[in-house]
Structure 1
Amino acid sequence: MWRLFFAIGVSIPITTLIFSLGDSLGQGTNSIMSRFIGSGDYESSYNALIHGIILANILWVGVVICMIFAHGILFHFNSLDSYILTFDYLMPIAIFTYIFIFNNLLAETLQAEGNSKTPTVLIIASNILNMILDPIFIFNFDLGIKGAAYATILSSMIIFSIFLHLYSHGKTKIPLSLKYFKFRRYILIEIFKVALPNFLNDAIWCISASFINSTLIMTMGPIGPILYSVSNKLKTLLVAPVRGYGRGLMSVTGICSEQKNLMA
């Protein structure tokens, strides 16, 4: 059992980095969409959403390739080694990174149109469903560490299908349609201006967390990463209201700043 929790604890920095791709990209897309909405240029806002989705597809392919090479090159342990369990958990997550990236991206773009309630409810529901499915997949289906990954994927896939339903059935203010797509380099630049700093901040944390995990393994053994992962979960819970406030403020600020420019 401790090997299972050890593998999840060691995997947290990497999964956090994967989830940060969608979150950062969503914040960048949110920012430019909010500014277009504030200036009254709604079609450019629709176009910005599609740019964000195209970038998400490119990132997904990159993550899968990186994980495949990492699995084949960096780890050459036997089947009993705990690091193999780590990749048993990470590989399904990497393959289905598409879902996690898009869930975070679409949660942010919904906030750009002033709808923060729907993505909040869906993300919370996904976490609750994940907690319910974890013991079922791990113990009842006897899948071990892979069961934890499958539970996360299934719960996120359900939320992903709801996001797609909202956008494909016209239940959002900003439609998702390729007819609005026109490649604009400046939209990509504006997305990266916001997304890159946020991603680099998360990347620095992931690197430091991995270093701390390696130190804890040497000094405390497998229990070290487990305790560290629990403390990080508590920290995430404590800072969640602040991050939520910041994201809401981003959308409002973008809209108001452009409206102020128009009035001037």
Structure 2
Amino acid sequence: MNERNGTRKKSRYVDLSAQELPRLLLRLAIPSVIGLSINALQQALNAIFVGSLGAQAIAAVSMTMPIIILLGAVGEGIGVGTASFISRHLGAGNELEASRGASTALALAAPIGVIMTIAMLVTLRGIFVALGASPTILPIALDYATILLPGSTLMLLNIVSGFIARAEGNTRFSMWTMLTAFILNALLDPIFIFLLGLGVRGAALATLISQIAAISLYIAYFTKRLGTVLVSISQVSLRVDRIRQLALIGAPATTTSILASLAGMFLYGAAARFGDDFIAAVGIAVRILTIGALPITGFCIGSQAVLGFGWGARDFARVMKVAKFMLFITVALSFAYSVAVMLFVWPFGQVVQR
């Protein structure tokens, strides 16, 4: 009986030491690409629904994006550091240390999310004014952000949980979780925005509920031990050296995302001088770029588990092979999407505006 259970449990995961690298990487990366592409489609779908409310509505929602990116940057930094920590220790055969890293990361993400949410809500009006929100956009942006921001802690926990599942090689669960959240958001958007007449507040509420659904799935994933690592309060360890490892590895990802968020803030601030329509146009352009960037990011995130596992196992030749294959795929994807944007950006922009 135990042997059968062990075989069934083992078959649930991808063997990170498998020798067929291209097949292994694609098996891990494709669910991550699909998952983050779904995330991009969710943003595009929200833009289409909100865009039907007018240029001021989409401009107000777009001005909230840099704030969300800033919050997500923290979650991404914690997640990248955690995923590296987990995959390296799994490669070294130390599941206990991997479990401690995962549990500690989630324990840190929750209070960080609460503190950042409170800080943002207190200064929200000043942030939008600094971004150049006009008197017509400001109340709409405040309506949207004040409903969405309380879910920031859930967003951080979802991001970190997704990184933990992918670091174990279970990228499919993360994909299905994102797909579930997307479908729920797509169903609730028209109901809240149009049927109940909530406008942009309805869009924010739909997103918030989808975040609740996603974290519920991750809670079930961890409590039912569907993953390799054990996530529980008993595994939390606030040792300085462990936290330092999580923070230092994730710091570059956090810094990059924060700079992107600041660049977005400056961009919206510059567009605000020309009117609401310009802010809406910038918001559409940013979403188009995001749609192309997320699948590439998804491929890299999905492949990270193999890199970390190889590094932990001290198989550096394997690490180099993985890095070269990733570079080839990401360059090809970037080129293909650039061509697609140049060919189809005008009709896509027209659809979003409607």
1:249 to 2:277 alignment: no
- Between the aligned partners of 2:127 and 2:92, the Cα distance in structure 1 is 49
Partner of 2:252 in structure 1?
197
Q: Deviations over 1:100-124 (max 9, x none)?
A: 1111110100011111111022213
Distance 1:169 1:64, change over 3 A: same
CA displacement at 1:46 relative to structure 2: 0.6
- The CA deviation at 1:144 is 1.6
Q: 2:258 corresponds to which letter in structure 1?
A: A
CA contact 2:70–2:257 (8 Å) conserved in 1 = yes
The residue aligned with 1:15 is 68
Q: How far apart in 1 are the matches of 2:293 and 2:183? A: 19
**Preserved CA contact (<8 Å) 2:99 2:230:** yes
Aligned to 1:133: 188
RMSD: 2.2
Aligned partner of 1:206 among 253, 261, 265: 261
The CA distance in 2 between the partners of 1:257 and 1:190, in whole Å, is 15
Is 2:319 the partner of 1:259? Answer: no
Which of 161, 165, 188 is equivalent to 1:110? Answer: 165
Shift of 1:74: 5.3
**Partner residue of 1:228?**
282
Percent sequence identity is 22
1:232, distance to aligned residue in structure 2 (A): 1.7
8 A Cα contact 1:38 1:259, kept in partner: yes
Structure 1 counterpart of 2:225, one-letter code: G
1:54 and 2:54 are equivalent in the alignment: no
Work out the CA distance in 1 between the residues paired with 2:150 and 2:160. 17
Residue matched to 1:98: 153
TM-score by length of 1: 0.91
Kindly indicate whether residue 92 of structure 2 is the aligned counterpart of residue 39 of structure 1: yes
Partner of 2:330 in structure 1?
none
- What residue number does 1:240 align with? 294
Shift of 1:73: 5.2
Matches within 5 A, 1:155-166: 155-166=210-221
Higher mean C-alpha displacement, 13-22 vs 38-47:
13-22
Deviations 1:224-245 (A, max 9, x none): 1222222222212212222112
Name segments (4+ residues, structure 1) moved above 4 Å. 72-76
Note the residue ranges of structure 2 that are not aligned, 5 or more in a row: 1-52, 130-134, 317-354
Which residue among 43, 50, 58 is the counterpart of 1:5? 58
- Give the structure 1 partner of residue 13 of structure 2: none
Tell me which amino acid in the other structure corresponds to 2:229.
I
The one-letter amino acid of 1:16's match is: I
Aligned partner of residue 40 in structure 1, secondary structure: coil
Q: 1:41 to 1:181 in 2, by over 3 A?
A: same
Instruction: Tell me which residue corresponds to 2:324.
Output: none
Q: Is the 8 A contact 1:67 1:91 kept in 2?
A: no
Q: Which moved more, 1:175-184 or 1:2-11?
A: 175-184
Whether the 8 Å contact between 1:32 and 1:187 is mirrored in structure 2 is: no
Aligned match of 1:29? 82
Alpha-carbon distance in structure 2 between the residues aligned to 1:21 and 1:132: 29
Equivalent AA in structure 1 for residue 288 of structure 2: L
Give distance in 2, aligned partners of 1:154 and 1:57: 18
> Considering only CA atoms, is the larger Rg found in Structure 1 or Structure 2?
2
**1:157-179 deviation digits (Å, cap 9, x = unpaired):** 11111111111112222121222
Task: Give the direction of change, closer, same or farther, for the CA distance of 1:239–1:106 in structure 2 (3 Å limit).
Answer: same
Contact 2:107–2:236 (Cα < 8 Å) also in 1: no
How far 1:69 moved relative to its partner? 2.1
Contact 2:77–2:254 at 8 Å: present in 1 too?
yes
- Cα distance, 1:21 vs. partner? 2.1
Cα distance, 1:72 vs structure 2: 6.1
Tell me: CA distance 1:216–1:181, structure 2 relative to 1, closer, same or farther (3 Å): closer
For 1:46, give the aligned amino acid. S
Is the partner of 1:10 in helix, strand or coil? helix
User: 1:75: how far off?
Assistant: 6.4
Any stretches of 5+ residues in structure 1 without a counterpart? Answer: none
State whether residues 89 and 98 of structure 2, in contact with CA within 8 Å, keep that contact through their aligned partners in structure 1.
yes
- State the TM-score, normalizing by the size of structure 2: 0.69
SS at match of 2:229: coil
C-alpha contact (below 8 Å) 1:15/1:90 kept by paired residues: no
Deviations 1:5-47 (A, max 9, x none): 1111111111122222222211111111111111111111110
User: Matches of 1:156 and 1:17 in 2, distance apart?
Assistant: 17
Task: From the superposition, tell whether residues 246 and 124 of structure 1 become closer, same or farther in structure 2 (CA, over 3 Å).
Answer: same
Counterpart in the other structure of 2:44 = none
Q: Look up the SS of the partner of 2:170 in the other structure.
A: coil
